[in-house]
Amino acid sequence: MRLKRVGSTILGVAAGAVLVLGTGTTAASAAEPCGDFGECKALIEINATDGDIGFHFLMDGDDLNSGRIFDPLGAKVFEEEAKGPLREEKLTEIFAESAEPLCWHDPEADPDEEIVTLEEFLARWAAGNYLFTGKSDGGEKSKGETELTHEIPAAPADVAFDGSMISWAAGNDLGKCASQAELNGLVLAHVLPVHPENVPVAAWEIVLEPDVEDGDPTGKLVFSIRVSGGIAPKQVTVPADYLASLPANTPVEIEVGAIGVNDNATFTEVGGFCVNETVEGCED
């Protein structure tokens, strides 16, 4: 199960903690001006547990009719244009995620499913400055640049939940996307600029989500918090009022993400936890 995080890593790292309860989709963030844009970002996100990898981006401008992105080699990698009533209303923020292909050969995957290894993915998305451009009425143009780096933080390890507190540890690999030994080889080959275990973590993002069937309103009661990368010990307490709002015997999954100073992020998911457990217990 891929957790539906409240807020996205693309939003950036806020000073202090961010706490979101319920169904909202926006977390407080520190905007970073990007030329003529209020903000623009490009980043890599890895799910170390499922073993998939993707490219995410955001551009935030004023009254845009269109937006484009160019990679460091000048190749256009994205283009969007508002039409009809949307052109009258204008665009302000454009956010998108690429498909997230598997980065490992899962024996249970469909034989036709695309596999893109970490090395192949990094070759596809070159490190360097990505140019963002936009156009408004009257031909007014917006331009800004943001750097995509290949400095990817290691996947959080030892994720645990004792019924009230979530804890974790700093990791040293990228889970199914690359073992520590494989990463050592990529660093030696200069595919990676630095080993993930040596990439500073600017923030940790922690999400607890009920693992329920689609359509169950309990699934919307998500707890999400973002804390400083320097937090010690690495643990957060889940509010008792939030836990009490969940029905008895609610199965939950927990996701902890390491967010790098450059916004690249690696997440670890762990399931099988039970909240407000009675003698009946959670369903297996």
Domain parsing of the chain, residue ranges: 9-275
pTM here is 0.88
Average pLDDT, the chain: 88
Q: Which runs of consecutive H residues, i.e. helices, occur in 189-276?
A: 240-245
pLDDT at 87: 87
Residue 57: strand pairing partners: 42, 96
pLDDT at 9: 52
Is the four-CA dihedral 109, 182, 199, 255 of positive or negative sign? positive
pLDDT tens-place string over residues 229-268: 999 999 999 999 999 999 999 999 999 999 999 999 999 9
pLDDT tens-place string over residues 161-216: 999 999 999 999 999 999 999 999 999 999 999 999 999 999 999 999 999 998 88
pLDDT at 25: 31
Q: Report the distance separating Cα 116 and Cα 119, nearest Å.
A: 8
88 three-class SS = helix
Q: Report the distance separating Cα 261 and Cα 229, nearest Å.
A: 9
DSSP codes, 168-197 = EE--SS-GGG--HHHHHHHHHTTSSSS-GG
Residue 192 to residues 120, 153, 173, 196, 267, Cα–Cα distance (Å): 12, 11, 13, 9, 19
Q: Does domain 9-275 have CATH number 3.90.1260.10?
A: no
pLDDT at 76: 96
Which range (85-89, 132-136, 199-203) has the least confidence? 85-89
The DSSP bridge pattern shows strands 39-47 and 265-275 to be parallel
Instruction: Check if the beta carbon of residue 253 is closer than 8 Å to that of residue 269.
Output: yes
